[in-house]
């Protein structure tokens, strides 16, 4: 699973800044003279719902709003069909722990393929109980919210990739490529330290996110180093959690600029290794 176009990785200094939105209608020069809006004003009003939906799709929700919330705005009810979910309680320490699921609509059309590498501490009983419920078909974000957790995502890469033939059939599309995103799934209860449930790969249906649009400026701005790399240069988990709020807006880390850049350097080879692991997993499924 090698990205066929540039990913959103790279140092923050290399990333383009987000452009400010331009006004759609001009001022009247301060004279207070009424004027008729342009024709496209009425077209925009009639298409507000479509425009809002497009904005929601392009701006990946890293806090509060879940990916499934956005999917359901477009396709209606979404549920998970679990293809694999390892029972963490029964596995030896150090063993690879994987969840694989199809997020499908009521017509059983795949809208997002999700592959999760479970990293949480199985000694945490509540997390293990939540994981049991998710293994039975619960959606990850919705299940955590049900237990009173706030959820956030740390985006670690965004890229365009070839779609395996079996997945293309499941998406019911002819497209050869899809947009994909790697994130760390964070969850936190009031007064507690944030935890990471796992690292999640989401591959989106081309009907939902058009791969021809590429990796946009918002995607690039949201990408951060891995949590482990940030911790390795002295940034505590609570502080990372606080900065994830900014990832939904400007994602500025100026107060931690030097450590942030060090963490970026540490992250790159690990993320590349993760890409290779994902590629091997998908190739194995292709051969089945």
**pLDDT of 63:** 61
Q: In what order do the strands lie in the sheet with 150-162?
A: 79-85, 98-104, 110-118, 195-204, 177-188, 150-162
pLDDT tens-digit series, residues 164-176: 999 999 999 999 9
**pLDDT of 12:** 52
The answer to whether the beta carbons of residues 203 and 167 sit under 8 Å apart is yes
The answer to whether the beta carbons of residues 152 and 244 sit under 8 Å apart is yes
* Other CB atoms within 10 Å distance of the CB of residue 11: 11
**pLDDT of 57:** 44
The DSSP element (H or E) to which 44 belongs, if any, is: helix 39-46
Q: Which of 113, 106, 108, 105 is CA-nearest to residue 206?
A: 113
Which positions ≥6 away from 187 have C-beta within 8 Å?
Answer: 144, 149, 150, 151, 194, 195, 196, 197
The DSSP element (H or E) to which 180 belongs, if any, is: strand 177-188
Query: Which CATH code fits 60-224+269-287?
Result: 3.40.1410.10
CA distance 254 to 168: 41
**pLDDT of 174:** 92
Helix (H, G, I), strand (E, B) or coil at 158: strand
With a cut of 70, which residues of the chain have pLDDT below it?
1-64, 246-251
**pLDDT of 288:** 74
Domain positions in the chain are 60-224+269-287
Q: What global pTM score does this model have?
A: 0.80
Helix (H, G, I), strand (E, B) or coil at 109: coil
Q: Which two tokens stand for residue 134?
A: 């998710």
């Amino acid at each position: 699973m090698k990205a066929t176009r540039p990913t959103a990785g790279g140092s923050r200094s290399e990333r383009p800044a987000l452009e400010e939105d331009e006004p759609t209608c001009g001022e009247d020069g301060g004279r207070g003279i009424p004027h008729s809006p342009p024709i496209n004003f009425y077209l925009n009003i009639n298409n507000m719902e479509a425009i809002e939906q497009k904005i929601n799709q392009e701006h990946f929700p890293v806090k509060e709003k879940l990916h499934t919330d956005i999917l359901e705005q477009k396709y209606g009810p979404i549920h998970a069909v679990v293809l694999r979910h390892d029972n963490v309680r029964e596995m030896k320490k150090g063993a690879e722990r994987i969840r694989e699921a199809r997020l499908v609509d009521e017509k059983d059309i795949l809208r997002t393929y999700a592959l999760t590498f479970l990293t949480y501490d199985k000694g945490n009983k509540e997390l293990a109980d939540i994981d049991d419920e998710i293994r039975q078909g619960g959606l990850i974000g919705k299940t955590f919210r049900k237990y009173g957790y706030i959820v956030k995502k740390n985006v670690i890469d965004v890229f365009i990739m070839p779609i395996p033939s079996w997945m293309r059939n499941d998406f019911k599309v002819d497209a050869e490529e899809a947009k994909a995103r790697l994130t760390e799934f964070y969850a936190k209860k009031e007064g507690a330290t944030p935890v990471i449930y796992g690292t999640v790969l989401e591959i989106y249906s081309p009907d939902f996110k058009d791969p021809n649009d590429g990796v946009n400026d918002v995607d690039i701005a949201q990408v951060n180093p891995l949590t482990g790399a940030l911790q390795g240069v002295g940034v505590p988990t609570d502080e990372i959690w606080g900065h994830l709020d900014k990832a939904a807006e400007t994602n500025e880390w100026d107060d931690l600029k030097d450590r942030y850049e060090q963490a970026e350097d540490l992250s790159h080879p690990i993320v590349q290794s993760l890409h290779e692991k994902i590629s091997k997993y998908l190739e194995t499924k292709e051969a089945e």
